[in-house]
């Protein structure tokens, strides 16, 4: 015998609130970023925790900072002088917005779900997008352009340009 249905509910798939990442961003970072985007509207706290964890992993893998807490790792990458000033300002704002001095757990355990300031989760994602562009997209774009130039030079019997 069939049970009576008391109501219906239509469930839509979750769609990230942000643009999709370029294909150059490796899956190990893209997966966490996408998850942070999907939960952003339901839980900015969870989104911020995921994006902080992604940021820390990115700084360790791409900027080669020493493992420490996130606040110190951000300071190390700022002090290195390797990032453009616009990214330095953006990444430094993560510490200021997140008030890491008053909330050290955000720095010591970046994946922890804790209270966030208004706009903090969105800003974290903005900074990740800028860093993805810097570490993945721009190098791939330059590499592709260099390869095209080398092909053109080869066609004219000239030596190509080498990767620095």
CA–chain centroid gap for 155, Å, is 40
Dig out the tokens for 46 from the structure.
């969870």
Confidence at residue 159, expressed as pLDDT on a 0 to 100 scale: 66
| pLDDT of residue 162 exceeding 80 | no
Task: Tell me the average pLDDT of the chain.
Answer: 86
Confidence at residue 101, expressed as pLDDT on a 0 to 100 scale: 56
| Phi, psi torsion values for 125, nearest 5 degrees | -70, -40
List C-alpha distances in Å: 19 to 22, 30, 33, 34, 145.
9, 12, 11, 10, 25
Residue with tokens 């999709």: 20
Please indicate whether residue 114 or residue 143 has the higher confidence score (pLDDT): 143
Confidence at residue 84, expressed as pLDDT on a 0 to 100 scale: 97
| pLDDT tens for each residue of 15-38 | 667 888 999 999 999 999 999 999
Confidence of residue 108 (pLDDT cuts 50, 70, 90): low
Q: Are 18 and 125 in contact (CB under 8 A)?
A: yes
Terminal CA-to-CA distance of the chain, rounded, Å?
Answer: 74
Confidence at residue 163, expressed as pLDDT on a 0 to 100 scale: 66
| Domain spans in the chain, listed from the N-terminal domain onward | 27-137
Greatest pairwise CA separation for the chain in angstroms: 82
Please indicate whether residue 111 or residue 79 has the higher confidence score (pLDDT): 79
| pLDDT tens for each residue of 52-98 | 999 999 999 999 999 988 899 999 999 999 999 999 999 999 988 87
pTM of the model: 0.80
How far apart CA 36 and CA 57 sit, in angstroms, is 14
Confidence at residue 113, expressed as pLDDT on a 0 to 100 scale: 66
Confidence at residue 98, expressed as pLDDT on a 0 to 100 scale: 72
Confidence of residue 131 (pLDDT cuts 50, 70, 90): very high
The CA dihedral of 121, 132, 23, 43, to the nearest 10 degrees, is -10
Confidence at residue 50, expressed as pLDDT on a 0 to 100 scale: 95
């Amino acid at each position: 015998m069939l049970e009576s249905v008391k109501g219906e509910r239509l469930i839509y798939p979750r769609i990230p609130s942000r643009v999709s990442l370029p294909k150059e961003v490796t899956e190990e970072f893209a997966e966490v970023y996408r998850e942070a985007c999907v939960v952003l509207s339901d839980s900015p706290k969870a989104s911020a925790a995921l994006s902080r964890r992604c940021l820390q992993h990115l700084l360790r893998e791409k900027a080669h900072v020493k493992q420490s807490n996130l606040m110190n790792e951000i300071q190390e990458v700022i002090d290195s002088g390797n990032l453009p000033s616009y990214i330095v300002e953006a990444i430094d704002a993560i510490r200021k917005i997140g008030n890491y001095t008053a909330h050290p757990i955000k720095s010591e355990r970046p994946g922890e779900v804790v209270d966030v300031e208004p706009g903090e989760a969105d800003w974290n994602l903005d900074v990740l997008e800028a860093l993805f562009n810097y570490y993945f997209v721009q190098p791939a774009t330059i590499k592709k352009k260099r390869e095209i130039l080398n092909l053109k030079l080869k066609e004219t019997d000239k030596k190509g340009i080498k990767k620095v």
